[in-house]
Amino acid sequence: MLHTRIPGPALRPFVQTLWATSPRAAAPGPAAAREHVLPTGSMHLVFRLSGPPLRLFDGSGGLRETTLGHAVVGGARATYYAKDVSEPVSSVGAQLRPGASRLLLGAPADALAGCHTPLDALWGPAAALALERLHDAGPPERQLALLEALLTARLSALPGPRGLHPAVAQALHGLGGGLGIQEAVRHSGYSHRRFIALFREATGLPPKLYGRVLRFQGVLHRLAQDPAAGWAGLALAAGYSDQAHFNRDFREFTGLVPQAYRRAAPEQANHVPVEVNSVQDRRPGPRLQ
């Protein structure tokens, strides 16, 4: 079961959503042992309050396993990762906005991108204390309130101004509306190299790659609104101009082809159940007209 909370005004510029999950009764039939977690362009802070520590598998066959612990930061990504879901867990976490990483975690987003980092490497002993307090907080509503209080306290303890760099904020707004990268650089007033550095520090990804992830997420958003829609129409509406680019992005970001994703029928768009030893569906994707 998923519980969500929009943070209060003090935290809202830095945290998009607070969320908590609790186990529920298993559905009939065999349960997936793993899921592919898809890139969203965002960073996540996660505390596992029950069940085993987070276990991840590489994307090249899923043979190498990494066990990370119960308090983890997931950096911004441009590809999926495979996660063990064979046992039920309860968790509480936060989806961070661009610019929040340095303030709330003590490191720029690009230093944490593309990987998972144990929270104690960033917070020190405060990570274990936060995990313990959240574990004892009670039901999900109280967990969410406590996590918000913990993050707000960290933010309040920082000296000086806090906020997203104006050039990055302007670029993020423009990219969401279809602005090209060169236009974003020109509007920023900075050199191309300096703008890319500012953008990566805030988001974890270079702007072109970040824009690709947003475009792909646009397809999944439209699919959630109209599950019966055809892939070609969804892709064109999201800004893809040809089949090759759509199929390449879909495979890179999900580890699946579109038909396999639809067959998986994920309850949450970015968490796709997969069979551990399944052979990837290699049938060609839809042709855009």
pLDDT reported for residue 33? 85
> Which strands sit side by side in the sheet containing 34-37, from one edge to the other?
65-69, 54-57, 81-84, 34-37, 271-274
Residue 105 lies in a domain: yes
User: How many domains does the chain contain in total?
Assistant: 3
**Based on the domain organization, do 114 and 138 belong to the same domain?**
yes
Q: Is residue 136 included in any domain, yes or no?
A: yes
Sign of CA dihedral 53, 136, 106, 99: positive
Domain boundary among the residues 156, 188, 222 is at 156
pLDDT score of 280: 44
Q: Residue 235 falls within a domain, yes or no? A: yes
- Residues 137, 12 within the same domain: yes
182: burial class by Cβ within 10 Å (0-12, 13-18, 19+)?
A: exposed
pLDDT at residue 118, as a whole number: 97
Same domain for 140 and 40? yes
Which positions of the chain have pLDDT values less than 50? 278-287, 289
What pairs with residue 15 in β-bridges?
A: 96
Q: How crowded is residue 103: how many other Cβ atoms within 10 Å of its Cβ? A: 17
Give me the pLDDT at residue 179, please. Answer: 73
Residues 145 and 37 in one domain: yes
- Asked if 259 and 217 sit in the same domain, the reply is yes
User: Which structural domain range is residue 170 located in?
Assistant: 166-205
Separation in Å, CA 232 to CA 37, 131, 176, 214, 273: 23, 45, 21, 17, 23
The verdict on residue 224 lying in a domain is yes
137 and 30 in a common domain: yes
pTM: 0.87
Element at 71 (helix H, strand E): strand 71-74
In a domain, 119, yes or no: yes
Q: For 166-181, how does the pLDDT look when each residue is reduced to its tens digit (9 = 90+)?
A: 999 999 988 766 778 8
* Cβ neighbour number for residue 9 with a 10 Å cutoff: 6
The answer to whether residue 62 is domain-embedded is yes
The CATH number of the domain where 14 resides is what? 2.60.120
